[in-house]
A and B are shown apart, each in its own frame.
Chain A
């Protein structure tokens, strides 16, 4: 079974080698081949040079596409190379590779997409601010209203998908801050989604895309809420998923 780890990276020169090294914690069985691909989203630092000097498998995007476009590149790569499972894994070292096997197991149990969630059961020691948590709860609530399904951590970027979803995402993926939007669409289209609890680590180096500017979180919330509502109201269930 071919598994691809998609690592989107924008100005992650300080973290990227550590992130790739951390994948050895995945400890998968013999029947899996674990590959990775870094999507260097037009970084302004020397992410590109570091990846190439260390012979890391990197796709260098010629221009900055934003997180959605970068992650979609990974799904296209997975689709072209016939991977069975694709897993998004942040380039800043926040995700813990030891959970990869849990994500894969959920896919093998028949789920189409699995979210590594910070908030399922109170396992997480993830330090999140009160405000951020309120925001995530609100998005969670919105998705519940529109789809009837409770997703505890819709913003999580730690997700595994099977070949069907890889194909869907290769064709169509939302542009910016795409996680909650794409989750809503998938539920609406009738795909099976599950969530497993994971721990996340605080960032080691660099800055989060959401904390650089105080207006960004507010704008993010408005934008994502509207995107979720549109996705929830307009997406139709697919008639034959096995087409």
Chain B
């Protein structure tokens, strides 16, 4: 791998690292998600300096070209992250549902108290 490419990739990785740091600082990202991205970033940096690891894994797995293997892993990682995010969405939806229901019930109760003589529909 040419040193120019190594340097530019390193710069991208560092910028990525700093961007995550900024996002955490500005509360645009949860710390636990930042850790996930940082570990990915660090793995990339390690591979950048020891490319032999990639060759080794490719040989073990019987993949001829390293680039194919990188695409494969990249794809798996991305699908994994999307799966995680859909789970987060489901959790948030159920939280929003519960919140809306409780707000509705509370508002009904408050209106009943304000009206005082509320219908017998409330205890």
Interface residues of A (CB under 8 A from B): 33, 35-37, 39, 52, 55, 57-63, 65, 69, 72-73, 76-77, 80-82, 175
Q: A58-B108, A62-B100, A65-B100 are in contact. List 19 more A-B contacts (CB 8 A).
A: A33-B120, A37-B108, A57-B119, A57-B121, A59-B104, A60-B108, A61-B100, A61-B101, A61-B103, A61-B104, A62-B103, A63-B96, A65-B97, A65-B101, A72-B101, A77-B105, A77-B108, A80-B105, A175-B97
Q: Does B59 contact A (CB under 8 A)?
A: no
B window 83-123: CB within 8 A of A: 96-97, 100-105, 107-108, 111-112, 115, 118-123
The 3 residue pairs across chains A and B that have the minimum distance between CB atoms: A57-B121, A59-B104, A73-B101
Chain A residues within an 8 Å CB radius of B120: 33, 35
B window 32-49: CB within 8 A of A: none
Chain A residues within an 8 Å CB radius of B107: 59-60
Instruction: Flag if B108 contacts A59 (CB, 8 Å).
Output: yes
Instruction: Flag if A63 contacts B121 (CB, 8 Å).
Output: no
Chain A residues within an 8 Å CB radius of B118: 57
Instruction: Flag if B108 contacts A57 (CB, 8 Å).
Output: yes
C-alpha gap A60/B101 in the complex (Å) = 9
Chain A residues within an 8 Å CB radius of B123: 81-82
- In whole Å, how far is A142's beta carbon from the nearest beta carbon of chain B? 25
Q: Pick the contact of A69: B97, B108, B112 (CB < 8 A).
A: B97
Instruction: Flag if B108 contacts A36 (CB, 8 Å).
Output: no
How many A-B residue pairs have C-beta atoms within 8 angstroms? Tell me.
54
Instruction: Flag if B121 contacts A73 (CB, 8 Å).
Output: no
Q: Pick the contact of A39: B96, B104, B122 (CB < 8 A).
A: B104
C-alpha gap A207/B123 in the complex (Å) = 34
Chain B residues within an 8 Å CB radius of A35: 120-121
Instruction: Flag if B119 contacts A73 (CB, 8 Å).
Output: no
Chain A residues within an 8 Å CB radius of B97: 65, 69, 72, 175
Instruction: Flag if A63 contacts B108 (CB, 8 Å).
Output: no
- In whole Å, how far is A9's beta carbon from the nearest beta carbon of chain B? 12
Centre residue among B104, B107, B112, B121 by max chain A CB count within 10 A: B104
Chain B residues within an 8 Å CB radius of A73: 101, 104-105
Chain B residues within an 8 Å CB radius of A77: 105, 108
Chain A residues within an 8 Å CB radius of B122: 57, 81
A-B contact pairs, 16 of them (CB 8 A): A35-B121, A52-B111, A55-B119, A57-B112, A57-B121, A60-B107, A61-B104, A63-B100, A69-B101, A72-B97, A73-B101, A73-B105, A76-B105, A77-B105, A80-B105, A175-B97
- In whole Å, how far is B113's beta carbon from the nearest beta carbon of chain A? 13
Chain B residues within an 8 Å CB radius of A52: 111
Centre residue among B96, B100, B112, B123 by max chain A CB count within 10 A: B100
- In whole Å, how far is A170's beta carbon from the nearest beta carbon of chain B? 10
A-contact 0/1 string along B32-71, CB 8 Å cutoff: 0000000000000000000000000000000000000000
Chain A residues within an 8 Å CB radius of B104: 39, 59-62, 73
C-alpha gap A35/B121 in the complex (Å) = 5
Instruction: Flag if B100 contacts A59 (CB, 8 Å).
Output: no
Chain A residues within an 8 Å CB radius of B105: 59, 73, 76-77, 80
